[in-house]
Amino acid sequence: MKGEFGLLLRELWADIQQPEIVWQVLVLAACLGIAWLVQRRLPVRPARDGVWRLGQGGLLRIAFPLTALVLVALSGALLKPWLRLNLLKLALPLLGSLLVIRIVFFVIRHAFGRAGWLGSFERLFAFSAWGVVALHITGLLPDVIGMLESVHFAVGKQKLDLWMLIQGAGTVLVTLLVALWLGGAVENRLMAVEGIDSNLRVVLSRLSKALLLVVAVLIGLPLVGIDLTTLSVFGGALGVGLGLGLQKIASNYVAGFIILLDRSIRIGDVIAVGQEKGQVTRITTRYTVVRAGSGVEAIIPNELLVGSVVLNESYTDRRVRLTLPFQVAYGADPDRVMAILAAAASARDRVLADPPPAAFLVAFADSGVNFELSFWIDDPQAPTAALRSEINLAAWRAFQAEGIGFPFPQREVRLLGPAV
């Protein structure tokens, strides 16, 4: 083992063979115990929304390692003149790495919620962090860094090596996490504003996230000495590839922003596109989800919504007109039939009184007289099968009570020529 931490381990091994190690263990145990009590005694209060909100869950995650780190550092400074403190010196990087891991994953979980990939990424990040700490303690970290720096290559005029790329990836990751955290805070603030249309709030929140991510990359790469101009060649080639291969996806994203901005389709609208009809339950920048009355959800690309005719039953007015066909026998009184149909519709709660239901005589068919019942509702997002059934049953009972019959097809057959 080489370096300062290699010497620290050798001195710690020597301390273990001395009675003074008992005092170091007691001091370390006391620091950890006090940190545990501080974590348990933290007040549980409702967290407020805001950019600087840590949340009580995040505070509980970092309270123990942060308190222990501070106490161990203070104890080392106070007891240095009287005791050998190699055990406390070894505990400092371990507690510091634990604090960093918990802070990073609190920010990640705040930004991504309950994403399924977080568990695997957290284990990978924790393994990498503890590996770096182990290399640092054993004194092997400078040798590993030197080996990574020896693998170098050129991109244009820029000289790069593996260590620089790893630093760049780590710095960009940190700036991206901060950007996602800030983006989530901005989104929470925008969603809480009631004076802005819901679609506009979604657009502003997504634009703010995209802008923060771009700024994070532009800030992170130069911090480790990577010149952004050297990536222009790759950026141009990537742009051409994306333009050719992802043309449909790009058009869907552009169409999604158009829909969100012009508010032609909103969540809760009842629309019909081609063979698909239902209520809009979700609008993203790539697709729109339409839930049919049967419960089946159709995922419609936004490009289709912008480039084709969309029937929106609740664009400017949520009232829609429904019609029901009826046919009665020729012997029935037409005025009485129309009155019965209008009364059957008026008795339903979902049917609007203004405009009132109305029945019309529309045709004289082969077997009977055709009527059409017209009525209006203001909740097109709800299924109408039950309403139609109720009106049909009410009309049937009224027709039975009035002696009005329903016709059925009749055919007259004539036999020509002498009977055999």
d(CA 164, CA 185): 31
What does pTM read for this prediction? 0.44
d(CA 153, CA 151): 7
Q: 355: cis peptide before it, omega within 30°? A: yes
DSSP 230: G
Average pLDDT over residues 54-70: 68
pLDDT of residue 51: 38
More confident residue, 176 or 1: 176
Count of beta carbons in the 10 Å neighbourhood of residue 75: 19
Least confident residue range of 70-84, 227-241, 293-307, 363-377: 227-241
pLDDT of residue 317: 76
Q: Parallel, antiparallel, or unpaired: how do β-strands 270-273 and 276-283 relate?
A: antiparallel
Check pLDDT > 50 for residue 185: yes
Range list of β-strands (E), 178-316: 270-273, 276-283, 287-291, 297-301, 311-312
pLDDT of residue 359: 93
Q: Which domains does the chain have, with CATH numbers?
A: 3-150 (no CATH), 163-245 (1.10.287), 253-312 (2.30.30.60), 320-402 (3.30.70.100)
d(CA 77, CA 65): 18
DSSP 416: -
Check pLDDT > 90 for residue 158: no
Check pLDDT > 90 for residue 76: no
| pLDDT digits 0-9 by tens, 297-312 | 888 888 888 888 888 8
Check pLDDT > 90 for residue 194: no
pLDDT of residue 253: 74
Check pLDDT > 80 for residue 265: yes
* Alpha-carbon distance values, 263 to 196, 198, 241, 287 (Å): 12, 9, 32, 15
Listed residue (164, 256, 265, 268) closest to 210, CA to CA: 256
pLDDT class for 362, splitting at 50, 70, 90? very high
Least confident residue range of 54-58, 146-150, 299-303: 54-58
pLDDT class for 21, splitting at 50, 70, 90? low
pLDDT of residue 341: 93
